[in-house]
Amino acid sequence: MSPRRDYRARAARLREREEREQEEPRARERARDRDRLPQRSEIVALLEKRGRHLVGQPFFGQGPRPIVERDRTSNIGDLVLLKVSNRGGKGHAKVTRRLGRPDVARDVLEALMLDRGLRRRFDPAVERAARDPRPLDVPGRRDLRDLTTFTIDPASAKDFDDAISAERLGEQSWRIWVHIADVSAFVRPGDLIDREAFKRGTSVYVPGKVEPMLPEGLSNGACSLRPHEDRLAVTVELELHGAAVRRASFYRSTIRSDERLDYDRVDRVFAGEEPAEEPWAQPLAAARAAAAALQARRDAQGALAIESAEPEFSFNRDGHVTEAVAVAQTEAHRVIEHLMILANEQVAKLLAERKVPALYRVHERPDGSAAQRLVAQLASLGVPTPPLPEQPTAQQGAEAIAAASHLVEAHVRRTGRGAAGLNNLVLRSLKQARYDPRNLGHTGLGLEHYCHFTSPIRRYPDLVCHRALLSAVGGGEDAPEASRLAGAADWTSHRERDAMQVERSADDVARCFLLERRLFETGLTQEFDGEVTGVIGAGAFVAFGDGYAGMLPVRKLRGDWWELNEEGTILHGERSGKAIRIGDAVRVVVDRVDAPRGRVDLFAVEL
């Protein structure tokens, strides 16, 4: 499985990132947890010499420093994983794994994943089961190997869980096939792999690494829709007139991908910089036209307008970060996104109509008060706002927030600033998306029915929806047990939130290592142009330079007393009358970089 990121989860990650003000309480909580060391535990530590003893200094926070038994695999200054036990009330530890050096980004990222509880390895029995998978033999599987099919993924991808076929039927009419890897044919309910997949809940993607939900034998092998190889799939076949679905059918299939396309190549084709090739040229054009119709429907339905970019990091052979490129969503991304959303919507609609137990992806309407607060926040920053009743209902609040997102988008285009901070305000006004056995709709997408179905290689709820769908259409599966779904929804939602926090922390760590490298090469007093992306009582969050981020503490803004306004959007200087507002330009220098913990403190050169 490749260390690629799910661009469809950008908005959720952006929401999590804006909640940085909660990071300090969480850090204190983790520190307290480490202080309460259990009888046996594993910790990530730095080996240090203390008198005659070798001790393990906890690397990601405070905690006891156990005495470490010497071994031949590690040395003083190494980053290690320790197995700790209490002997006579004193902590002793053995090195179970040498992780590397604390000044190497790749080693620290591995340590971070272990510190956050990721397994990093599969049980050998699970690995063996995945190396020689035996798919479920289901009669009636349709043979679609003669149908032109292609995948579109990041250039670095190795696990392909969705593929597309398309044809034009007439003016503004298309037939679309969305083929999804038939993971349920290989992973049976309650078997060894299924239990492990449920424990993990989701794949976790950090720079240069991945914690997969499924072992490589399945994720990169039998379940991956690789080009020019026969693969088992679950197909959603749709006939569209404009954005309206005239007919939908769902079935198991066998496909053979004709081409492995990547986003950059498809964008070059769309821009006329590279010719499309047969046999996929016409199907790609049909998919593009259908996606454009779906985009128009989405705009008309008042879905949120949020654009963001995700960092993609490069490493050298020694494990050091060498580059970070912001990968923005392009038309190629949107084509796949719209077709996947459509397939998810149609699957959820069928499951709801037939009352089959399943896990829905729900995004409930915000409270009316959340919309009122967002409007007040935007108004305090001089951003145009939509009209809002004095006591808005949940529906009116949702409509106002969607309208505000479009006004923010227009404001950002007009002024050229404020994108990150203002979009964060919009996202924070919403409730967090989650999984639920009830079909409660998806406010962010403006849909009454929605589930996750299109990524069963890396999300457990998608596997549940595969089983539910196939049970509903006679595909040889039993419906999920309704009594278990509430617990599964809570668990998979929890695992998703944990994954986003790990990914956020890992991005911060990688950025910090890259920033350290740049400061070393160019000088510690280098000044950067930045923009305020958020404010709290303790200071301002600033994006600066080429994708870096840091904190400008008010305690370092000497000669003034700074107060946060009621809306949480502006810091006012009581003596000077100055203001630090979300979206403001600032000029900063770096005061301190704590790369292993992903933290940067800044000084202001000019406000």
For the chain, first and last CA: distance in Å? 45
Residues paired with 601 in a beta bridge? 551, 592
Global pTM value:
0.89
Domains 7-115 and 523-606 share a fold: yes
Answer yes or no: is pLDDT of 179 > 60.
Answer: yes
Mean of the pLDDT values across residues 51-56?
90
Cβ atoms of 74 and 48 closer than 8 Å: no
Q: Is 100 helix (H, G, I), strand (E, B) or coil?
A: strand
**Mean local confidence (pLDDT), 43-56:** 92
Q: What type of residue is 575?
A: R
Q: CA-to-CA distance for 326 and 107, rounded, in angstroms?
A: 23
Here the tokens at position 531 are 């923009």
Question: Strands 599-606, 90-100: parallel, antiparallel or unpaired by DSSP?
Answer: unpaired
Q: pLDDT tens-digit profile of 391-423? A: 999 889 888 998 999 999 999 999 999 999 999
C-beta separation of 225 from 160 below 8 A: yes
Helix, strand, coil shares of the chain, percent, nearest 5, are 35, 30, 35
Q: How many CA atoms lie within 13 A of 163 on its CB side?
A: 35
Q: Which residues are paired to 546 by β-bridges?
A: none
| 186, 218 contact by CB (below 8 A) | yes
Find, among 229, 232, 238, 248, the residue nearest to 180 by Cα.
Answer: 232
Q: What is the pLDDT of residues 85-132, one digit of tens each?
A: 876 556 889 999 999 999 999 999 999 999 999 989 999 999 999 998
| Separation between Cα atoms, residue 513 and residue 506, nearest integer Å | 11
pLDDT in tens, 131-165: 988 998 888 999 999 999 999 999 888 889 999 99
Q: Note the pLDDT of residue 72.
A: 84
Altogether, the residues listed in the chain come to a count of 607
SS3 419: helix
Q: Based on C-alpha coordinates, what's the Rg of the chain? A: 26
Q: How far apart are CA 24 and CA 30, in angstroms?
A: 10
**Which top CATH class is 523-606?**
mainly beta
DSSP state, residue 442? B
Q: Which of 555, 551, 554, 553 is nearest to 600 (CA)?
A: 551
Evaluate if residue 344 carries a pLDDT over 60.
Answer: yes
For residues 403 and 302, the answer to whether their CB atoms sit within 8 Å is: yes
Show me where the domains of the chain are located. Answer: 7-115, 131-350+468-479, 368-428, 523-606
d(CA 473, CA 467): 10
Structure tokens of 16? 């999590």
How far out from the chain centre does Cα 554 lie?
31
Confidence grade of residue 5 (pLDDT, cut at 50, 70, 90):
very low
CB 84 within 8 A of CB 41: yes
CATH placement of domain 7-115 = 2.40.50.330
Strand 259-262 versus strand 309-315 pairing type: unpaired
Q: What is the C-alpha to C-alpha distance for residues 207 and 108, in angstroms, rounded to an integer?
A: 11
